[in-house]
Structure 1
Amino acid sequence: MLDEVRKYHEEQRNNRPFEPGVTEIWPSGAVLEADDRIALVEAALDLRIAAGHSSRKFESAFARRLKLRKAHLTNSGSSANLLAITALTSHHLGDQRLVPGDEVITVAAGFPTTVNPILQNGLIPVFVDVDLRTYNTTAERIEAAIGPRTRAIIVAHALGNPFPVAEVAQLAEDHGLFLIEDNCDAVGATYDGKLTGTFGDISTVSFYPAHHLTMGEGGCVLTGNLALARIVESLRDWGRDCWCEPGESNKCLKRFNYQMGTLPAGYDHKYIFSHVGYNLKATDLQAALGLTQLAKLDSFIAARRSNWQRLRESLDGVPWLILPEATPRSDPSWFGFVVTVDPEAPFHRAALVDFLESRKIGTRRLFAGNLTRQPAYVDQPHRVSGSLENSDLVTEHTFWVGVYPGLTEEMIDYIASSMKEFVGAHG
């Protein structure tokens, strides 16, 4: 049957040649091959419909890949961020726990789900600005934002380009702050030769189809801190205190010997709840796909870097376009190629984007732009540190195009030539 699935996959492949202006060039997307389809079908045939063997296998393999002790699969990267922030409010942390009204420093120009868990836990986001070209904030901006109630920092590596995470981690240590790395766009990136996602107390990853690996939906929380890992697991799994996997019954060998809260002694540990938690688990179907994707991670990252570099070299010197740059001392694992139209240019970003879209070249904004200007956050409690002028500029003048592994050199060259043609016609 699986041989037939492979044949079916080959029959469904789109082998039509690239036609400029006709073939759609997506800004992001999953690269799915025969082994991915087979893994999904095999898991379905085995009726592995809940979290189980494949989930545990993926968690172990992914933790090893990122050189961390624990990884916990979730149903999305957004849920991973929710678990990461919520874990820091756990009573198990004692006096270190975050409480409502505490502040968490983050970046104004980003994606909402980096910020939403701050508000959802009654905490106060403190917004800082970014640099143009790297689209990341700096340790100096973060340090200037630290106030008497600041307790944590959560920052995303922008479009696969690391923020100066070693300096930020040192700053967090010096001030007794938690650091969460939103690594959803940057799996495989390094800073000072060390993988992003390994500098902070917790890191998060997304497996949405736009990202480096896909499970369709899905995410992951990673940490080297076993106490935090245990809290994350509890919060993910309904808030229960028990750590037995589904199907296990007495891993601790004292299932009926616990007394917690005001429950009677000997209450079944499988039904003792020590956190107000969620059910944010993934499934084995997703994990089976994740395992085949993980085997291709190196080639995916290499393709992203190659596509980004080809586009960067092709557009170098084109007037009015502010091109992206890697953060010094980093080796990014690029998510997209970001462009800012110079505010003094004789054309607006919207005109360039319209031209590209008319040629079937997909574009995206730098996510939400300046989040403080979004309707969801206008009336939410927050603090702004310093100017957000670059975040405002990003909101008006910035967009990005794809570099994901599904794009060919011919497609990348067409993106570059289209941009140059437009700028040349308006120069």
Structure 2
Amino acid sequence: MSDRKARLLDDVRTYHREQEEGGPFVPGVTEIWPSGAVLDEEDRAALVEAAVDLRIAAGHSSRRFESLFARKMKRRKAHLTNSGSSANLLAVTALTSHQLGEQRLRPGDEVITVAAGFPTTVNPLLQNGLVPVFVDVDLATCNTTADRVAAAIGPRTRAIVIAHALGNPFPVTEIAELAAQHDLFLVEDNCDAVGSTYDGKLTGTFGDLTTVSFYPAHHLTMGEGGCVLTGDLALARIVESLRDWGRDCWCEPGESNKCLKRFSYQMGTLPAGYDHKYIFSHVGYNLKATDVQAALGLSQLRKLDDFCTARRRNWRRLRDGLDGVPWLLLPRATERSDPSWFGFVLTVDPQAPFSRAALVDFLEGRRIGTRRLFAGNLTRQPAYVGRPHRVVGELTNSDIITEQTFWVGVYPGLTDEMLDYIVSSIREFVAAHG
């Protein structure tokens, strides 16, 4: 690094410290966000360095992040994408590839998922002509169960695609066993749960494919961004092709003839020797991230363990502080799991003398940010009216979540003072209305 660049980056760090000097927390005045990125001077310096070096496309930083993140998540391959939603699209679309032969998913095949969740877990199913099969969840964990999934398996079932809700693992050992018994693909949407474990193993290591988001609300951020991970090299190659315009070549942009056979291929009805850099084996996209994003990701990755520790600590402080409050169903970790929590979910008892809306309005009035459990029951959302799907069992709890559930934050940017204010505010409201 040149002396001039080193001085520039030192100035950037100084600038960051000056900008971050904030005042004390003022209850009812200072905004308490439910989620957000935690960015330090090294993150700012990493972004500036990438910009100064004009690393504007995917390159060295992207490849290094993929390698380190795959190792951290205990998967063989990771492929960066421009969002977690794109990661879900790639993971599901990969399962439709002709390169999987008879195993591939085809239009009309059914895929089991949950009704209460985020749309982009389900949207790729519809985008690929697949039929979502919706099952209900438990209220305390916000996750489905192996029994519910088993009951939904039918003659056209080919895959299971489920998210770990708010960082809380679904019973993934049992559901992975079901998938193996019935020869089904399993995709883990791990966007909310990086660092969570089930049976002592990281979530995201059970499925055929795993997806992660690096949106600012999540455990790590690149601003935007996502990732597809897998232990299956054939699936990894398909994901890479689909992400990179659908091309058959595996050279990075700017590379040529890595295979030493660039002008020796014959595929389809193309003439022999057609340039392999321009042979396309999939109907793909351009869903890559950039080195600027990856530079931030590399800086963030060094802090992941601390972020996960803070999320667990903050969740526990809320859980202990709200223990025993009437009319509220408090969250519970799935048995045999250790969640790296995304949020702290609360469900107002339908028989309570107050409504969810009244409690949320009270908290928002005190500058305490709240969020719904995403889309609630997806089958009730306008986007899914008339879309092909099947429902197995009653969606009773998904409806309760739609009507009665919300969550508050546990992200590492929250202080003990903020968390205690959330607790005291909820206790004050319930005492006044109970």
TM-score bracket for the superposition, by shorter chain length: over 0.9
Structure 1 residue 379: Cα displacement: 1.0
Q: What is aligned with 1:44?
A: 51
SS, match of residue 417 in structure 1: helix
1:308 paired residue among 312, 315, 326? 315
- Partner residue of 1:114? 121
- Counting only pairs closer than 5 Å after superposition, residues 10-25 of structure 1 correspond to structure 2 as 10-25=17-32
Deviation per CA, 1:327-375: give whole Å up to 9, x if none: 0000000000000000000000000000000000000000000000000
Q: 1:104, 1:16 → 2: CA distance?
A: 50
SS of 1:167 mapped into structure 2? helix
TM-score between the two structures when normalised by the length of structure 2 = 0.98
Counterpart selection for 1:145 from 144, 152, 155:
152
What percentage of residue pairs aligned between the two structures are identical? 82
Alpha-carbon displacement from aligned partner over 1:173-208 (angstroms, at most 9, x marks no partner): 000000000000000000000000000000000000
Q: Tell me whether 1:247 sits opposite 2:262 in the alignment.
A: no
Question: What does residue range 287-366 of structure 1 map to in structure 2 within 5 Å?
Answer: 287-366=294-373
Q: 1:105 aligns with which of 112, 122, 133?
A: 112
C-alpha distance in structure 2 between counterparts of 1:25 and 1:15, whole Å: 14
Partner Cα separation in structure 2 for residue 203 and residue 2 of structure 1? 35
What corresponds to 1:399 in structure 2?
A: 406
Q: Which residue of 1 aligns with 2:73?
A: 66
**Displacement, 1:246?**
1.2
> RMSD of the alignment, in Å?
0.4
User: Structure 2 CA distance, aligned partners of 1:212 and 1:75?
Assistant: 16
Counterpart position of 1:135: 142
Report the equivalent of 2:85: 78
> Within 2, Cα distance between the matches of 1:11 and 1:412?
26
Alignment equivalent of 1:53, drawn from 60, 81, 84: 60
3-state SS, counterpart of residue 391 of structure 1: helix
- Look up the SS of the partner of 1:376 in the other structure: helix
Mapped partners of 1:190, 1:322: distance in 2: 23
Which residue of structure 2 aligns with residue 383 of structure 1?
390
How far residue 15 of structure 1 moved from its aligned partner, in angstroms, is 2.0
Kindly state the Cα deviation for residue 149 of structure 1 after the two structures are TM-superposed.
0.5
TM-aligned CA deviation for residue 293 of structure 1: 0.2
Q: 2:429 matched to which residue of 1?
A: 422
State the distance in 2 between where 1:162 and 1:57 align: 28
After superposition, the C-alpha distances for 1:206-252 in whole angstroms (9 at most, x for unaligned) are 00000000000000000000000000000000000000011110111
- What is the one-letter code of the residue matched to 1:277? G
What stretches of structure 1 of length at least 5 have no aligned partner?
A: none
Residue 372 of structure 1 pairs with residue 379 of structure 2: yes
- What amino acid is aligned across from residue 401 of structure 2 in structure 1? V
- Cα distance in 1 for partners of 2:218, 2:21 equals 22
Establish whether residue 2 from structure 1 lines up as the match of residue 9 from structure 2: yes
2:416 aligned with 1:409, yes or no?
Answer: yes
Residue in structure 1 matched with residue 273 of structure 2 by the alignment: 266
SS at match of 2:158: strand
Structure 2 residue runs without a partner (length 5+):
1-7
Task: Report the 3-state secondary structure (helix = DSSP H, G, I; strand = E; otherwise coil) of the residue aligned with 2:166.
Answer: helix
Q: Secondary structure at the match of 2:375?
A: coil
| Structure 2 residue 224 is matched with structure 1 residue 209 | no
Moved >6 Å (runs of 4+) = none
Give the Cα separation in 2 of the matches to 1:115 and 1:414.
36
Q: Shift of the alpha carbon at 1:172?
A: 0.1
Shift of 1:58: 0.1
Deviation at 1:14, TM superposition (A): 3.8
Partner of 2:283: 276
Q: Distance in 1 between matches of 2:357 and 2:424?
A: 18
Equivalent-residue separation in structure 1 for 2:280 and 2:385 (angstroms): 36
Shift of 1:26: 0.2
Residue 201 of structure 2 corresponds to residue 194 of structure 1: yes
Q: Deviations over 1:282-324 (max 9, x none)?
A: 0000000000000000000000000000000000000000000
TM-score relative to the length of structure 1: 1.00
- Give, in whole Å, the separation in 1 of the partners of 2:140 and 2:293: 35
**How far apart, CA to CA, are the structure 2 residues paired with 1:14 and 1:81?**
38
Alignment match, 1:233: 240
Aligned residue number for residue 30 of structure 1: 37
